Chain A
Amino acid sequence: QSALTQPASVSGSPGQSITISCTGTSSDVGSYNLVSWYQQYPGKAPKLMIYEGSKRPSGVSNRFSGSKSGNTASLTISGLQTEDEADYYCCSYAGSSTLVFGGGTKLTVL
């Protein structure tokens, strides 16, 4: 299984919106609406932000939203805040009871 493809870095100013893409294949992202997104601060464990492509767990800000088109899933963060600066990882079900993560994207809030 190859890692899902994410941009290495994205940046934005406070108040702006950014989108992080996550490109897989027809064997993972394209076949299932089972993409999740995780936020990770340096030295900390990942935190679930989005599941089933677009659902937010309780407690996650509605500034975070997810979508999918074809083999590409996307995470959008609107109204950027300095506290959003972190690494973000997508993850998809890849069939046969396996998961695959993306390469990770470093978000910088300028």
Chain B
Amino acid sequence: QVQLVQSGAEVKKPGASVRVSCKASGYTFTNYPMHWVRQAPGQRLEWMGWINAGIGSTKHSQKFQGRVTITRDTSASTAYMELSSLTSEDTGVYYCARYSSTWYLDYWGQGTLVTVSS
């Protein structure tokens, strides 16, 4: 069965960077793009970007342009999302989600809580 398992919670200081991992299993990793979505406490889902797991190309939301880097390691079936120049407004839960054929997200990771605090 398809599973996306994310790395554990992180606590970071303002100005630092954080990298969240998402290990996929149960399907051919390179056949499905991976998206990243975040959710600030009590707030809505917010789309961040995605990576074509096969060729490694990426697309980001303009909101995160210049601060987010999405990569993947095909040998480990793992996608990564790195967010830099963190502020308190980046506190929230970050989800990876597998993209399916017509712009929907069919499987989600369990989420990774990132707390930015001095």
Binding site for B on A (CB under 8 A): 1, 3, 32, 34, 36, 38, 40, 45-48, 51-52, 57, 89, 91, 93, 96-104
A93 to B108, CA, bound (A): 18
The 8 closest A-B pairs by CB, nearest first: A36-B104, A51-B104, A93-B103, A45-B108, A99-B47, A101-B45, A34-B103, A104-B44
With a CB–CB cut-off of 8 A, which chain A residues contact B45?
38, 40, 46, 89, 91, 101, 104
The A/B interface has a contact count, at CB < 8 Å, of: 61
Taking a contact as CB atoms under 8 Å apart, the answer to whether A45 and B109 are in contact is yes
B68 to chain A, nearest CB (A): 13
Taking a contact as CB atoms under 8 Å apart, the answer to whether B100 and A51 are in contact is yes
Summarize B's interface: helix, strand, loop or mixed.
strand
C-beta contact mask, B46-60 vs A, less than 8 Å → 1, else 0? Answer: 110010000000010
With a CB–CB cut-off of 8 A, which chain B residues contact A97?
50, 59
**A92, closest chain B residue (CB):** B103
A91 to B47, CA, bound (A): 9
With a CB–CB cut-off of 8 A, which chain B residues contact A1?
61-62
Asked if B37 is an interface residue, CB under 8 A from chain A, the answer is yes
Partner among B46, B62, B106 whose Cβ is within 8 Å of the Cβ of A57: B106
Taking a contact as CB atoms under 8 Å apart, the answer to whether B44 and A51 are in contact is no
